Amino acid sequence: MLQLNGLGTALITPFMSNGAVDYDGLRRLLDIQLNGGVDYIVVLGTTGESATMTEQERKEVRQFIVRYIAGRMPLVLGLGGNNTAALVAELQANKDELQRDFAAILSVCPFYNKPSQDGLYQHFTAIAENSPVPVILYNVPGRTGVNLLPETVMRIFGAQPEKIMGIKEASGNIEQIKHLIDLTKNQPAAGGRFLLVISGDDGIAADVMMAGGAGLISVAANAWPKEYGQIVRKQDIQLQNRFANMVHLLFKEGNPSGIKTVLSEMGVIYNVLRLPLVPNSKAVQDEIRACLHNC
């Protein structure tokens, strides 16, 4: 199992003005990641607007990224849902591609259904049993409506220690995250491997690292991979604080609206999202533009 420590970028998907995938923009974005020294890329996660892409589009985008990266860094595929049986079937159908091209999958808690902790346990153990590659759990209660508790995380890890690599923790609750990190220290898998606790919040990445976290899966790193690499690797609180206002603006009207505004201002992509997501309002775009010049 490849250990995915350090900085991972939750990659956006660029679109053209007509709504089609912008492969030139995607190439520019991938070059930024390669030149910025990120440790791995998360492909087609929620930041990548995968929910509004067709199955064929998702296939073409991930194949394009695999070809362009050409083994220069590990890739993680976003693959989650709120229908366990359908997700299991998708894992089985794409077994060969996953084993060949991806170091792990990132699988979000089932959304809208609001399962119990036991339901979450059974969902993720089914995913782990059927995934041909390691699994990173993804806890983001603000999007899913359910909080994957630390004790449940460790129960899942205990049931599938050879498959569960870690968790992207985006609850925003630093005390919950610290508690989970403490629990991991007492429950190693065979061979002494511990569950990776990865921050899912740009604004507290250094805090999580200082508490014993394994890294960050970042939205902001789409635009600032070098800076967020320093925040993660050097636990640079001062640099994190310099980005605090920008991070607030990135998520003020939802993700990935904010980071797409930034990348369009940088000339990397068009500022296009797919409904029901829309670009930032003019007021927030103006705030982001001012912060880019003055922060």
Residues annotated catalytic, as ranges: 138, 168
Say if CB 159 and CB 125 are below 8 A apart. yes
> How far is the C-alpha of 118 from the C-alpha of 248, rounded, in Å?
34
The dihedral over CA atoms of 100, 104, 109, 112, expressed in degrees to the nearest 10, equals -30
Q: Say if residues 215 and 232 touch (Cβ distance below 8 Å).
A: yes
* Cα torsion through 200, 205, 207, 213, rounded to 10: 70
* Paired residues of 107 in beta bridges: 137
| 184, 169 contact by CB (below 8 A) | no
Burial of 250 (0-12, 13-18, 19+ CB in 10 A): buried
> Dihedral angle at the C-alpha atoms of 38, 41, 46, 50, nearest 10 degrees?
140
The identity of residue 47, as a single letter, is T
- The secondary structure element, H or E, covering residue 181 is helix 174-184
